[in-house]
Structure 1
Amino acid sequence: MSACRPASGMTRGFTIVELLVTIVIVSVLASAALPMAELAVRRNKEQELRRSLREIREALDNYKLATDEGRIKKSADASGYPPSLEVLVEGVEDIRSAEQRRLFFLRRIPRNPFADGKAPPNDGWGKRSYSSRHDDPKEESDVYDVYAQTEGTGMNGIPYREW
């Protein structure tokens, strides 16, 4: 009889203790990995929030620059900032262009990554008018700046509304 074969009637396998030890080890590793995964998701959302704010603010500044250059019609008492975020996507007539061209500043309004994914992208942003104070932003006839309407504090210790 060969030494490699088990005795008749006996099969080799794992004992219940070996299986329990394996399950405990895997669960400990999984419980350590879960917080790291949550941290990575939060970090990605915060990076997306920074990118979105930067993109909108750059579009607002470009709109104001075009107004100051005389390419966008404005009334004498207007600030030169767009009346809404949608105008940045819809575009405005370039009054200096002979071919009636439109100026576009955004392809789409970026979504606030912390906002409800089913709501329109515009709903995740608070808008500050040029005439409102920085510590008490109010939405009025123009959009001077945007801020995240998200409760909570970033990993940098600054509330999302102040980014």
Structure 2
Amino acid sequence: MRRSSPIRKRGERGLTLLELIVTVGILGILAAAALPVARFEIKRQKERELRADLWMIREGIDRYKDAADKGGIMVKVDSNNYPPDLDTLVKGVDMKGVKMKFLRRIPIDPMTGSTEWGLRSMQDDPKSDSFGGQSVFDVYTKSQGTGLDGTKYADW
């Protein structure tokens, strides 16, 4: 009886252990290089969402103020015609018998995963992180992170 030899014969196919190790090593290097790029893209996408959400809320605040400036909304004297809170933009206000809404919903902050946004009134210092409570003049994220451009998210 003849034993089969461990040497490859012509026409036999397969991988040696060395070829398999080299292939797995190359795949590992490629995966390690792709991971930072994927994280960068995820952060960039969240920043796009944050900019869009801030724009949407600020647009709702501006539309509310425009309607109040035209006399369509009854507001408090010290509010400077800005909304009292973000819920008012979602729930809407009565304008001459018609319910007017300025936001469909309060968006979720992509950086914090919450619908709680930092609020500023006209009376607050622009860099303050405490809300005076008079009216909502501006919004910002409560995230302490820094953007890809080097600025703090809360300054956007």
Aligned length: 147
1:143 corresponds to 2:140: no
Worse-superposed segment, 78-87 or 59-68: 78-87
Mark the runs of 5 or more structure 1 residues left unpaired by the alignment.
1-5
Deviations 1:61-118 (A, max 9, x none): 1101100000101233332111110110100000xx3xx11111011111110113xx
**Equivalences for residues 108-119 of structure 1 within 5 A:** 108-116=105-113, 119=114
Instruction: Determine the structure 2 residue equivalent to 1:57.
Output: 58
Conservation of the 8 A alpha-carbon contact between 2:78 and 2:134: no
Deviations 1:98-153 (A, max 9, x none): xx11111011111110113xx4x2x2x10001211112243112111001100121
CA distance in structure 2 between the partners assigned to 1:152 and 1:137 by the alignment: 15
Runs of 4+ in 1 over 2 A off after TM superposition: 75-78
Letter in 2 for 1:109: I
Q: Out of 136, 152, 155, which is 2:145 matched to? A: 152
Query: In structure 1, the residue corresponding to 2:118 is in which secondary structure?
Result: strand
1:131 corresponds to 2:123: yes
Query: In structure 1, the residue corresponding to 2:59 is in which secondary structure?
Result: helix
Instruction: Determine the structure 2 residue equivalent to 1:42.
Output: 43
**Equivalences for residues 97-116 of structure 1 within 5 A:** 97=96, 100-116=97-113
Letter in 2 for 1:112: D
CA distance in structure 2 between the partners assigned to 1:60 and 1:102 by the alignment: 16
TM-score under structure 1 length normalisation: 0.85
Instruction: Determine the structure 2 residue equivalent to 1:81.
Output: 82
Conservation of the 8 A alpha-carbon contact between 1:129 and 1:138: no
Conservation of the 8 A alpha-carbon contact between 1:129 and 1:137: no
Superposition deviation, residue 11 in structure 1: 5.4
Q: 1:45 to 1:73 in 2, by over 3 A?
A: same
Query: In structure 2, the residue corresponding to 1:77 is in which secondary structure?
Result: helix
Mark the runs of 5 or more structure 2 residues left unpaired by the alignment.
1-7
Letter in 2 for 1:156: D
Worse-superposed segment, 78-87 or 47-56: 78-87
CA distance in structure 2 between the partners assigned to 1:160 and 1:151 by the alignment: 7
Conservation of the 8 A alpha-carbon contact between 1:112 and 1:148: yes
CA distance in structure 2 between the partners assigned to 1:77 and 1:127 by the alignment: 17
TM-score under structure 2 length normalisation: 0.88
CA RMSD, Structure 1 to Structure 2 (Å): 1.6
